[in-house]
Amino acid sequence: MKRLLSIREVPIFGVLVLFFGVAALGNHALFSASGLHDLLFTSSIICLLACAETLIIVMKHIDLSISSTIGFSSYIIGKNASNGHGLLYCLILGVIFGLAVGAVNGFLVAYLKLPSLVVTLGTLYLVRGLFNQVARGDFINSDKVPHLLTYMADHTFVKVPYLFLVALAMAIVVGFVMRHLRSGRDLYAIGSNLPAAHLAGIAVEKRTFWAFTAAGGIAGLGGAILLARFGQAQANSGLGIELSVVSACVVGGVAIAGGIGTIYGAMIGALLLQTIVMALGALGVSQFWQGVVNGALLIAAISLDKILSSRSQRTQIMRVSA
């Protein structure tokens, strides 16, 4: 039992269940198959992007550019599909675009040693500007979205929406890499102690570069999910989504100070945020409070993390001195 509680994800999961329960008491419609379906369906994009962001935050970096990447990628996929290209071709284009943005971020952060915040803030606006320039007033509407994507958005597999399954599959793959493969473990080492990681012979630059590139690639793939989820793409697709993603990760126990956290935690964080939003809706609170709740929860999560980590450090010191 004690061991179970010491896993970082368990308390968050508890909070998630609690919130869902409270919200369901307020509105019974929530506590049904369709309520669960809505929850998984609407949070699938944040869950997928949380996989990308976790890779980065664990290294004590941050990637704000994913929102522009996913938006532009969804437009690229939609545009090429409406020009009559096959879905696979469009998907590959979207992913390549994401990888390219990620590689630029990775190069600047890993090899030029620039602060990731500034770099990705720059690419966030650079890509968004480029996107607006290319898309102008163009609008990809739902009948131009590839059929497979619409099918995936409308159907479920054993009551689980396909879009969420994609996010889940990604989480399992990335989660496996981060837990069991050396390249993944290295990311934790880089995030928890950079000089030590260097001295231990970890190829810090290479790992950092590839992590950013992978994050970009996941965001590129996310473009397809975004397109399927909303059935449309336009110049403001994905705008401001980076805030929700970072919130989800931090709420889910991925420490912003680096070195701690898992994909699954981040996904639970994403579900928790979405549950709160739905609960507010179910309890009749105006949707305008959503941004406030997201921001406040992010601040609460980092404050709590700080307090808890300083306390556990203190107990460790006490144990050592005893």
Partner 1 sequence: MMSKLSALRGNIGWDKGVGILLLVTLIVGSLITPDFATTSNLGFVVQDIGEIMIIALPMAFLIIAGEIDLSVGSALSLVSSTIGYSFAHGISFGFAILIGICVGAATGALNGFLVNYLGLQSLAVTIGTMGLFRGLCFVLLGNTPVNQLPDFWTGLGVNNIPHTFLPWSFVLIAPLVFFAWILLHHTKIGRWTFVTGISAEAARFSGIPVKRFKFLMYVATGVMVSLAAIVYTLRFASASPDSAMGYELTTIAAVLFGGVSIAGGFGTMWGVIFSVIELGAIRSVLQLINFSSNALQMVSGALLLFSVAFPKVIELLKSRREARVKKPSPSLASMRSVE
What 8-state DSSP symbol labels residue 259?
S
Q: In the range 186-245, which residues lie near partner 1 by CB under 8 A?
A: 198-199, 243
What 8-state DSSP symbol labels residue 8?
T
Nearer to partner 1, 153 or 251 (CB): 251
Task: Tell me the closest approach of the beta carbon of residue 107 to partner 1, in angstroms.
Answer: 10
Q: Does residue 294 belong to the site contacting partner 1 (CB under 8 A)?
A: yes
Q: Of the candidates 36, 62, 37, 38, which has an alpha carbon nearest to the alpha carbon of residue 49? A: 62
What 8-state DSSP symbol labels residue 143?
G
CA dihedral defined by 92, 96, 98, 104, rounded to 10 degrees?
A: 180
27 φ/ψ sector (left φ>0, alpha ψ -120 to 50, else beta): beta
Helix (H) or strand (E) holding 94, with range, is helix 87-106
Q: Does residue 88 belong to the site contacting partner 1 (CB under 8 A)?
A: no
Nearer to partner 1, 43 or 123 (CB): 123
Determine the distance from the C-alpha atom of residue 197 to the mean position of all C-alpha atoms in its chain, rounded to a whole number: 25
> SS3 of 157, please?
strand
Nearer to partner 1, 165 or 304 (CB): 304
Q: Which stretch binds partner 1 (CB under 8 A): 13-21, 152-160, 274-282, 299-307?
A: 299-307
Nearer to partner 1, 165 or 302 (CB): 302
Q: Does residue 311 belong to the site contacting partner 1 (CB under 8 A)?
A: no
Given candidates 40, 108, 163, 170, which one binds partner 1 under the rule CB under 8 A? 108
How far is residue 38's CA from residue 290's CA, in Å, rounded to a whole number? 17
Roughly what angle, to the nearest 10 degrees, separates helices 241-251 and 263-282?
110
Given candidates 2, 3, 113, 180, which one binds partner 1 under the rule CB under 8 A? 113
Tokens linked to 157: 């597999």
Q: Does residue 286 belong to the site contacting partner 1 (CB under 8 A)?
A: yes
Helix, strand, coil percentages in the chain from 3-state DSSP, rounded to 5? 80, 0, 20
Q: Does residue 86 belong to the site contacting partner 1 (CB under 8 A)?
A: no
Task: Tell me the closest approach of the beta carbon of residue 58 to partner 1, in angstroms.
Answer: 14
Q: Does residue 156 belong to the site contacting partner 1 (CB under 8 A)?
A: no
Q: Does residue 293 belong to the site contacting partner 1 (CB under 8 A)?
A: yes
Q: Does residue 303 belong to the site contacting partner 1 (CB under 8 A)?
A: yes
Nearer to partner 1, 108 or 215 (CB): 108
State whether the Cα torsion 236-66-268-285 is positive or negative. Answer: negative
Task: Tell me the closest approach of the beta carbon of residue 265 to partner 1, in angstroms.
Answer: 16
Residues 6+ apart with CB under 8 A from 145: 78, 81, 227, 228, 231, 232
Residue 240, burial from CB neighbour count under 10 angstroms (0-12, 13-18, 19+): exposed
Tokens linked to 300: 């609460």
Nearer to partner 1, 142 or 309 (CB): 309
Given candidates 22, 295, 312, 314, which one binds partner 1 under the rule CB under 8 A? 295
Q: How many residues bind partner 1 (CB under 8 A)?
A: 43
Nearer to partner 1, 81 or 124 (CB): 124
Task: Tell me the closest approach of the beta carbon of residue 242 to partner 1, in angstroms.
Answer: 9
Q: Does residue 115 belong to the site contacting partner 1 (CB under 8 A)?
A: yes
CA atoms within 13 A on the CB side of 161: 25
**Residues near partner 1, by CB under 8 A:** 62, 108, 112-115, 117-119, 121-126, 128-130, 132-133, 198-199, 243, 246-247, 250, 256-257, 286, 288-296, 298-299, 302-303, 306
